[in-house]
Structure 1
């Protein structure tokens, strides 16, 4: 599940219920049929607003937090939207057949790619904008829902080709 509005409804519901992170974590244990609940750190990641906050969590975690706050899951979270990689048309897709081997083993987010390339995140943004101005997709850029992911091998290969030219 993906939290709505970067977790603002979660924090508002917590404030309305008069709960802080440790108390909410304890309440998830009370509403969990198994009695496990969520740890304070997990709750902090999900409801937080800092750089360690997570936009996504498991269905179970979303259900426990919503139940502990006495809210519906849909008020606080949304199910992620999946994009089909192939056409649903009966005609052959213009993309052609995509095999599992075509996908990279690991995708990086922009922060990881910047550290990997030893470049700044703004440099990556500038490269993507320049490619977009030229009507192209920056090599290695893959959109997953609303977020960008990068195939580091494709990015490196494109940078090597660019240097050789």
Structure 2
């Protein structure tokens, strides 16, 4: 970004220019990807990586590593569907969303994770939960 002489605002505008849909990436998303602060993210979707690489005129591999599988679709998009399959993909829940859904307290969730009854999914530095997986994990001890 520095080599291209772009700021976060400039890079966001450049992604809109190279995006076939004209949408591009928001300034906040660019900040999350290129930032080093508390809101910085270690991963991004393949779409975001491709738009940033195209806007900077660089190869994708020169800017991003593919060590971790890049998500093809956003995990935050509500009600997305896998292309051509007609299967509804449920987004992962944040701890607060899970607690509200189960009507439980944060201490209950911490205890369930510590005791191994619930297994979180780590997305970067944050915990997420698959609702069906959590319900299955909670039902298993009750059946025994």
TM, length-normalised to structure 2: 0.51
2:64 maps to what in 1?
77
How many Å apart are 1:69 and its aligned residue? 2.9
2:129 maps to what in 1?
149
How many Å apart are 1:144 and its aligned residue? 7.1
Aligned pairs (5 A) from 1:122-137? 123-131=108-116
Runs of 5+ consecutive residues of structure 1 not aligned to the other structure: 1-13, 83-103, 132-137
Deviations 1:111-131 (A, max 9, x none): 4223434422x6534422222
Q: 8 Å contact 2:113–2:120 — kept in the other structure?
A: no
Which of residues 27, 30, 45 in structure 1 aligns to 2:14?
27
Q: 1:71 to 1:125 in 2, by over 3 A?
A: farther
Runs of 5+ consecutive residues of structure 2 not aligned to the other structure: 71-88
Structure holding more helix per residue? 1
Quick one: higher RCO (CA 8 Å, sep 6+), 1 or 2? 1
How many Å apart are 1:15 and its aligned residue? 4.1
Aligned pair count reads: 118
Q: Which protein shows a greater Rg?
A: 1
